[in-house]
Amino acid sequence: MNIARNRQSVWRAGLIEIVILLVYVAVAELIVAALNPTIGREMLLPVGIVLALVPAAIWISFFYAQDRAEPEPRHYVLGVAILGALLAAAVGQPFINDVARAPQWMGRDTLTEILGAILIVGFVQEFLKYAAVRYSVYYSDEFDERIDGVLYGTAAGIGYAAFINVAMVANGGGIAAEQLGAGIIRIVIVTLVQATLGGFTGYFIARAKFDDEPLWWMPAGLTLAAVINGLFSWLAGEITTSPLTIGTTGASGGYNPWPALALAAVVAVALLGVTFALMRRANQLTLAGADADQK
């Protein structure tokens, strides 16, 4: 059955993309250490925005290079990514920062921080990724396989991550030369987690479309994604020694992004593996049922 194809190239591309982003960080660190580049004040913002968008460009470009067998239409994938960014800009981050004012009260104590990270940040971000897919390509003829849910969910996550990263850079006026390494790591962390969580949410979207799932199925999937999102956000903050302030005044003292990057890589690989295993099982059950019907 068409909906039950695994399309191994998609999963292989996802894993390689994670590795490429980590290599991107390593290369950037080597360049900074070897060349100690200087950036003029007028170029801080343009350079920072380019660096913020590089991981999204890598992810989408490499996906198309690998998924040659039956690629999704470029305008659909890019459209969902752009919609994810627009929803982040117009609804998600303004709600989190200005309406709920989460940054102002989440740090009061550990329990408050975890609950805020899950119930405010996690649910808002994962619901908007869901909305970017559900209210755009969901009924399209191009969304004809379960794996498409993962692809479009990942695209929504990439778009959401791109906006978070660009906003972080813009709010700080760019990335100073002495902050390049830490800034790039922060950008890659956001991309890894938001993209793979988007794909995970996309699995539940696909099952909701193609399978006779109960009413609680999609809310349960969103809740699980929001919990992972929030717990990662909290734990990543705990394993760094101080917050990162992107801007022109110098790097924050004591900030160490490497533990958070390692955690993001582990979470990304785990999410990709779990999503693959769940998708493969669903496809196998569909194929087994089709074979039984033919006998």
For residue 201, is it within any domain? Answer: yes
Domain residue limits at 75: 2-288
- In degrees and rounded to multiples of 5, residue 7 shows phi and psi of 50, 70
Q: What is the pTM of this model?
A: 0.91
For residue 293, is it within any domain? Answer: no
Query: pLDDT digit string (tens) for 17-64?
Result: 899 999 999 998 888 888 777 777 788 888 889 999 999 998 887 776
Overall domain count for the chain: 1
For residue 295, is it within any domain? Answer: no
For residue 43, is it within any domain? Answer: yes
- Give yes or no for residue 252 having a pLDDT over 80: no
What is the pLDDT at residue 29? Answer: 86
For residue 221, is it within any domain? Answer: yes
Across the chain, what does the average pLDDT equal? 86
Closest CA to 199 of 54, 5, 15, 66: 15
For residue 294, is it within any domain? Answer: no
What is the pLDDT at residue 214? Answer: 92
What is the pLDDT at residue 251? Answer: 43
Query: pLDDT digit string (tens) for 183-228?
Result: 899 999 999 999 999 999 999 999 999 998 899 999 999 999 999 9
For residue 219, is it within any domain? Answer: yes
Query: pLDDT digit string (tens) for 62-88?
Result: 776 665 556 667 789 999 999 999 999
Query: pLDDT digit string (tens) for 93-148?
Result: 999 999 999 989 998 899 999 999 999 999 999 999 999 999 999 999 889 889 89
The 10 Å Cβ neighbour count of residue 61 is 12
